[in-house]
Chain A
Amino acid sequence: MTAANSVFSRTNRAFENAGLSCLKRHEIDFSPAAQVMQISSRLFQMLDRSDPVQAEVSLRLWVLRSSILFTLLPFGDSALRLQLQMNELEQSSLGLPDATQLIETLKKYVTDIVSVGRNPKRELFLHVLDESIEKDGGKIGIFCALSAGRPPGWPSERYAQLSALSDRLMLIGSRRHMRANVFGTVILPCACCNAPPELLSDLLFSGCAAKLEVLLYKGERFQIPKRLMLPVDGIFAGRLQKTDIESEVNVISGDSSMSAVDTWVNEAFWQGLHGAERNSSHNLVPANYMLFCDGTGTFLPANGRILTLPADGEVTDEADLCLVRVENVCEGDLIVLRSGDSGFLLDEATDRIMSSEDNESLFEIATDWKEALEALLVTHSNEQVAQALRERDAQTNAASIRQWIGPDVLGPGNERVFKELINLLADKGKIKKVDGELIRYADSRWKSLQELRGVRHKAGNLIRQDLFKVLFNRIESRNGQLNDGERIHVEGVTGAELLILRVSSVDRNPAHVPPSRLGQVDDLKGNKWLG
Chain B
Amino acid sequence: MNLLPADLSKSISILDGCEKSSLPDWAASLIWLGAWCRSNRLAGKRLIVFAVLPTRELAAAFASLGCLISGAGNFVDALSWSTFKKLPLGRSVFWISKIGSKRYSGKIIGFKDYDGSEFIVVDVTKAPKKAEVGTRREISRNYFDDYLFTEEKPATAPRSASFDAAAQSLSYLVENLNPKWIWADGAEGLLVTNVATFESAIAGLSLSIEGQNPIAMSDLLCLERNKIQSHAKLRIDHPKGVISGNFPIVILDGAKAFMVHEHLTAGSNMLVILDRSEYQEGIHDEVMQLKSISSDCQNADLKSAMPGTLTPGVELAAYWVDE
Binding site for B on A (CB under 8 A): 1-3, 6-12, 14-15, 17-20, 175, 198, 201-202, 205-207, 227-236, 239-243, 319
Contacts and interface: CB of A to CB of B under 8 A. Distances in A.
B26 A15 contact: yes
B264 interface: no
B284 interface: yes
A239 B306 contact: yes
B17 A6 contact: yes
A19 B318 contact: no
Interface string B1-45: 000000000000010111100001110000000000000000000
Contact of B310 (A1, A201, A232, A240): A240
A198 B14 CA distance: 33
Contact of B318 (A6, A14, A229, A235): A235
Contacts of A228: 279-281, 284
B14 A8 contact: yes
Given A11-B58, A202-B277, A241-B311, A233 B318 contact: yes
B55 A229 contact: no
Nearest to A14: B55
Contact of B308 (A198, A227, A239): A239
Interface in B137-151: none
Nearest to B217: A8
A39 to B, nearest CB: 38
Interface in B270-292: 275-277, 279-281, 284, 287-288, 291
B275 A206 contact: yes
Closest 8 CB pairs of A and B: A18-B313, A19-B312, A207-B54, A18-B54, A3-B19, A15-B26, A230-B317, A3-B17
29 contacts: A3-B18, A3-B19, A7-B58, A7-B201, A7-B205, A8-B205, A9-B16, A10-B55, A10-B57, A11-B58, A12-B24, A14-B55, A15-B25, A15-B312, A17-B54, A18-B313, A207-B54, A228-B284, A229-B52, A229-B279, A230-B315, A231-B317, A233-B316, A233-B319, A235-B317, A236-B316, A240-B314, A240-B316, A241-B313
Interface in B147-187: none
A21 to B, nearest CB: 9
Contacts of B211: none
A233 B292 CA distance: 11
B204 A6 contact: yes
A201 B296 CA distance: 33
Interface of B: 14, 16-19, 24-26, 50, 52-55, 57-59, 196, 200-201, 204-205, 275-277, 279-281, 284, 287-288, 291, 296, 298, 303, 306-319
Contacts of A11: 26, 55, 57-59
B290 to A, nearest CB: 10
B204 A18 contact: no
B313 A207 contact: yes
Nearest to A229: B315
B16 A3 contact: yes
A229 B284 CA distance: 8
Nearest to B283: A228
A20 B25 CA distance: 14
B25 to A, nearest CB: 8
A198 B277 contact: yes
A230 B52 contact: yes
Nearest to A15: B26
Given A175-B277, A234-B298, A235-B303, 13 more contacts: A3-B16, A3-B19, A8-B58, A10-B55, A15-B24, A15-B55, A198-B277, A205-B277, A230-B316, A233-B319, A239-B307, A240-B309, A241-B312
A486 to B, nearest CB: 25
Contact of B309 (A1, A8, A241): A241
B313 A19 contact: yes
Contact of A205 (B276, B310, B318): B276
B300 to A, nearest CB: 12
Contact of B279 (A12, A230, A234, A241): A230
A159 B48 CA distance: 48
Nearest to B307: A239
Contact of A206 (B277, B287, B310): B277
A205 B55 CA distance: 9
Given A206-B275, A230-B287, A1 B317 contact: no
A205 B279 CA distance: 12
Contacts of B279: 228-230
A62 to B, nearest CB: 28
Given A12-B24, A227-B276, A235 B298 contact: yes
B50 A205 contact: no
A144 B315 CA distance: 30
Contacts of B312: 15, 18-20, 241-243
Nearest to B18: A3
A240 B196 contact: no
A19 B58 CA distance: 18
A17 B200 CA distance: 24
Contacts of B280: 228
A231 B52 CA distance: 11
A226 B293 CA distance: 27
A205 B54 contact: yes
Given A229-B279, A230-B279, A15 B17 contact: no
Contacts of A205: 54, 276-277
Contacts of B16: 3, 6, 8-9
A19 B276 CA distance: 14
Nearest to A179: B55
A136 B133 CA distance: 68
Contacts of A10: 55, 57
B1 to A, nearest CB: 16
Contacts of B276: 201-202, 205-206, 227
B15 to A, nearest CB: 9
Contact of B277 (A2, A7, A201, A236): A201
A121 B315 CA distance: 37
B310 A236 contact: yes
A8 B23 CA distance: 11
A202 to B, nearest CB: 5
